[in-house]
Amino acid sequence: MDLAYLREHPEHLPTFLTHQRIRETPVSGGDICAAARLTLDDGYSIFAKTWPERAGRPVPEGFFATEAAGLRWLREAGSVAVPEVLVALPDLLALEWVEPGEPAPAAAERFGRELAGLHRAGASEFGAPWTGFIGALPAENTPCPGPWGEWFAQARLLPYLRASVDNGALDRADVALVEQVVARIGEFGGEEPPARIHGDLWPGNLLWGADGRVWLVDPAAHGGHRETDLAQLALFGGPPHADRILAAYQESWPLAAGWPQRVPLHQLHLLLVHTALFGGAYRDSVRDRARAALSGLGRATVDG
């Protein structure tokens, strides 16, 4: 199997893998999927993800199709580097291989400009026309005209708050804090039309390539607020050369007044996803971001 054959017959890839007709080298696939570098007969490499047997349950319906749709949509903007989708099957996703490189200031600055270009490509509504996932969790993607704040509260905060209570990660005091944020969502300002965003842009989903570009991987792509991507990028220590990324972004498309005060609000979404997925280890982070968001508004009740 070479690349030309794969493009013509993507459905045959599992058969070739089953019969060990392709050289397969395991690589890191993140917290959810098993991943491998596949070397085709023409020497071309591809990156393949599968749902691991250790997960103990079947692959969620539409899981890989959702990721493929998001990657294609981000790639269509023609701005940030996004791997080409080569195979999208119910239980397997294969992408072009990106040779890793070292983080460099020039790549960071280029990425900041390109991320602004991606966001400018926009979306028709908040949400997306495909099933949503973030990590292994469903994401509410039903298209919505807005306003953004109301959509964000209902689709990106409350579902993961409920899931985090159900699994015991958060208690009543935590719920009260987040519910205050939701109740005051209209006070944060910064309303904008929907941007074309990655949606899960923590630093681990940037791939610094040997070609001097930063590539986007593992998206939860949808129409959302561009500040969400930038706020998520600042989590967990941030990426290398974060200051250069932000400066280049601001030069290309300045953020609206008050954006620093909204960073905790945007980060709250991904941290609630973490308590829903991984439990109470992220409880303090949720409490901190909720308090910071309320403090940014002033006159906040942040006890509990």
Task: Please say whether the dihedral angle defined by the alpha carbons of residues 272, 230, 222 and 155, taken in this order, is positive or negative.
Answer: positive
Would you say the CATH fold of 105-297 matches that of 3-96?
no
Q: What is the pTM of this model?
A: 0.94
Q: Is 275 in contact with 162 (CB distance < 8 Å)?
A: no
Q: Is 123 in contact with 97 (CB distance < 8 Å)?
A: no
Per-residue confidence (pLDDT) for residue 264, from 0 to 100: 98
Task: List the chain domain ranges.
Answer: 3-96, 105-297
158-166 and 172-183 helices, crossing angle to 10°: 170
For the chain (length 304 residues), average pLDDT per consecutive 10? Answer: 92 86 83 89 93 78 96 98 97 96 98 98 97 94 96 98 98 97 96 98 97 97 98 97 98 97 98 97 97 83 44
Using one digit for the tens of pLDDT, what is the confidence trace for 167-216? 999 999 999 999 999 999 999 999 999 999 999 999 999 999 999 999 99
Per-residue confidence (pLDDT) for residue 57, from 0 to 100: 81
Per-residue confidence (pLDDT) for residue 54, from 0 to 100: 62
Per-residue confidence (pLDDT) for residue 55, from 0 to 100: 60
CATH number for the domain running over 3-96: 3.30.200.20
- The CATH architecture assigned to 105-297 reads Alpha-Beta Complex (3.90)
